[in-house]
Amino acid sequence: MSVRKITRALISVFYKDNLEPLVRLLGKHGVEFVSTGGTQEFIEKLGFSVTPVEKLTGFPSIFGGRVKTLHPAIFGGILYRRDDNNDLNQAKEFNIGPIDLVIVDLYPFEETVANGNDEGAVIEKIDIGGISLIRGAAKNFRDVLVVSSRRQYDEVHQLLQTNNCVTTLGDRKKFAALAFDNTSHYDSAIFNYFNQEFQIPSYKKSIQGGRTLRYGENPHQKGRYYGDLEGLFEQLHGKELSYNNLVDIDAAVNLLHEFGDEHAFVIIKHTNACGAATGASVKDAYVKAFQADTISAFGGVLATNKTLDLPAAEEINKLFFEILIASGYTEEALTLLRTKKNRMLLLQKARLSEVKQAKTILNGIIEQDLDLKTDAREDLKVVTKKAPGPAEVNALLFASKICKHTKSNTIVLAVEGQLLASGVGQTSRVDALKQAIEKATAFGFSLHGAVMASDAFFPFPDCVEIASQHGISAVIQPGGSVKDQESINFCDQHNMSMVFTGIRHFKH
């Protein structure tokens, strides 16, 4: 039979939030309750009688609660097949009654780890009986409905209320799939906890929750996002975020993170900064960022790490943009910015906390540590006779931050607190420099006294030679080429300063 009437329910949960309406509905339909411990007390306080698990098993809860439900009287009632005569005869022989509904959640393992508890406390939150009950009920979905999370209570309540506690095979199979989602996620979290110590070469990453996107990178591609986006952002206005929007948002917030408490503003197009600046105010930073490329900024993703006020909003409102991200908005700014219905306004609630990066490649996945190194003053090694002045050092460090977040090969040209231009994603570093110079010139910037940053070393002195011809006075690069000395010599001969960081920042 594809439909099953629920007559007996095993309920044992850690979280009892919103459980009451479901218990009352089951009780109204005469369902027998089987339970133990705190859940048994909870159900009895609602006025319903409960058959204790201990009565069915003939054993008390032992070993500090580690063993309660692991018994044939419980698992037999869940797993025996109602349409198999041998199973039916054995159930009768051993006096095993059917259990048609299992409502069980899992100990809060991830929360216990996140709270910094010691290993002993963490280990005690590895669920044994609960996860076994869930898996058993999910395996026998042809006969049993399993509810494996408090997030499912409302949906199950609606289902059972509508159908008078009768379920279909499709209902039960769906909740079985949800159960295996929960158990596999749980096991992945446990493995990753243990694997911090042993580094077993096995990749397990489980993310629950996601959303279907309008499409992927292009309209003919399907797309989904997996993750808790609401934990990072509150969308205050605008249409649904797209795949490409999310990719650019990621680029924007990662670049902004480099600037700490400075008033910073970035404009992103296809994951690269076409504008970036720091300033005395958000408005000041935005105006300087916009100057770097007033064409590419059209339709871009804008972001600031500060509260966006009305003066900044009045400037920004003149531009057509897709997305604006800020750590806060004044009411006046928000009212003005909401006048265009499709632009997306995001409030950033938290910083990114990931320390690893992974992507699919070939027939597998590659993973690496995130590039969390920000070049600082103490990293700079002056390799030329002339040392950069204070303003040049500030400009070099500023340019290096942008360079780190720009697609390789890249060259970034800047002055203190302002991006002038960048050459992005070129197959040759010389081409990247030429592209940057061309852009800076096109937007009316003089490069006299500007600085140059490179994501990797110069294999030849050609880049410093070209830079010198346009008045660039200081250079920051990792160093490490067998021909470093040729670049150093040229800088010495042309009154340029150059610093090495010893850190490469490729981005592919």
Q: Which two tokens stand for residue 73?
A: 């009287």
Cβ atoms of residues 412 and 419 within 8 Å: yes
Going by DSSP bridges, is the β-strand pair 411-415/323-326 parallel, antiparallel, or unpaired? Answer: unpaired
482: left (phi over 0), alpha (psi -120 to 50) or beta: alpha
Q: Which residue do the tokens 């103490």 mark?
A: 378
Bridge-based pairing of strands 145-147 and 101-104 is: parallel
Is the bond preceding residue 18 a cis peptide, omega within 30 degrees? no
> What's the CA angle centered on 412, arms 263 and 288, to 5 degrees?
35
174 catalytic per annotation: no
Beta pairing, strands 364-369 & 356-361? antiparallel
Backbone angles phi, psi at 309, to 5 degrees: -100, 180
Alpha-carbon distances of 148 from 14, 16, 53, 85, 135, rounded to whole Å: 11, 12, 19, 29, 10
**Is 220 tagged catalytic?**
no
DSSP assignments along 405-441, one per residue: TSPSS-EEEEETTEEEEEE-S-SSHHHHHHHHHHHHH
Q: Whole-angstrom Cα distance, residue 156 to residue 104?
A: 13
**C-alpha–C-alpha distance, residues 27 and 21, integer Å:** 10
Strands 418-423, 210-212: pairing is unpaired
Catalytic residue among 29, 257, 270, 494: 270
The distance from CA 362 to its chain's CA centroid, rounded to whole angstroms, is 23
Catalytic residue among 125, 139, 204, 494: 139
For 63, the token pair is: 């070993």
> Under a CB-based contact definition with an 8 Å cutoff, are residues 70 and 129 in contact?
yes
Torsion angle of alpha carbons 367, 370, 371, 377, nearest 10°?
A: -150
Strand pairing partners for 35? Answer: 52
- Residue 495 near residue 385 (C-beta atoms within 8 A): no
Distance CA 148, CA 175 (A): 8
Which residues are part of the catalytic machinery? Answer: 139, 270
